[in-house]
Structure 1
Amino acid sequence: MSQDVYRDSGFKVFFFSNDEARMHVHVVGNEGEAKFWLEPEFCYANSNLPVEALSILGRSVKANEDEIRKAWTKHFC
């Protein structure tokens, strides 16, 4: 089961309920998908997105980090 956090520019940002414990989100859209770690520091874990899309989405995830953290805490804690 996945928990949607938000959508941006045709991409869905979400996490899986049974995924690993380290805080992160998945991003998926028509152009591909990516995974961003929020801990221990913000970075992307893997991606098959074009570099430009990855950069835009990275900024979006970083800008919405507080919302993501709140959704994560609400869901898992």
Structure 2
Amino acid sequence: MPTILRVDGFRVYFWSHEPNEPPHVHLDKGGASAKVWLEPVRLASNAGFVAHDLGVILRLVRHHQPRLLEA
């Protein structure tokens, strides 16, 4: 699971083999985890993040979307 980015305590990464799914990234921080689709940017799943963190995550992913898609 290559790490693409570390920012504000979040680790952004992807699994190298997840067939049949649209482009997405996983984010972890402090024991919580989320999965975010990249086109369009939207939350796919959440395990432990509060609403405020999810807003931060979606803004972070939108900001870095070109880099994340390239990876």
- TM-score, normalized by length of structure 1? 0.82
Superposed CA RMSD: 1.2
Q: Deviations over 1:19-56 (max 9, x none)?
A: 134100000010511100013x2211011210001100
From the two aligned structures, give the one with the greater helix fraction: 1
- Equivalent residue, structure 2, for 1:37: 37
Matches for 1:17-56 after TM superposition, within 5 Å = 17-20=16-19, 21-30=21-30, 32-39=32-39, 41-48=40-47, 49-56=49-56
- TM-score, normalized by length of structure 2? 0.88
- Equivalent residue, structure 2, for 1:65: 65
- Matched length: 69
In 1, the alpha carbon distance for the partners of 2:55 and 2:7 equals 13
- Structure 2: gaps of 5 or more residues: none
> Given that residues 6 and 12 in structure 1 are in contact (C-alpha distance below 8 angstroms), is that contact kept between their aligned partners in structure 2?
yes
Q: Give how far 1:18 is off.
A: 1.2
Runs of 4+ in 1 over 3 A off after TM superposition: none
Aligned-residue sequence identity (percent) comes to 28
Q: 1:57 to 1:45 in 2, by over 3 A?
A: same
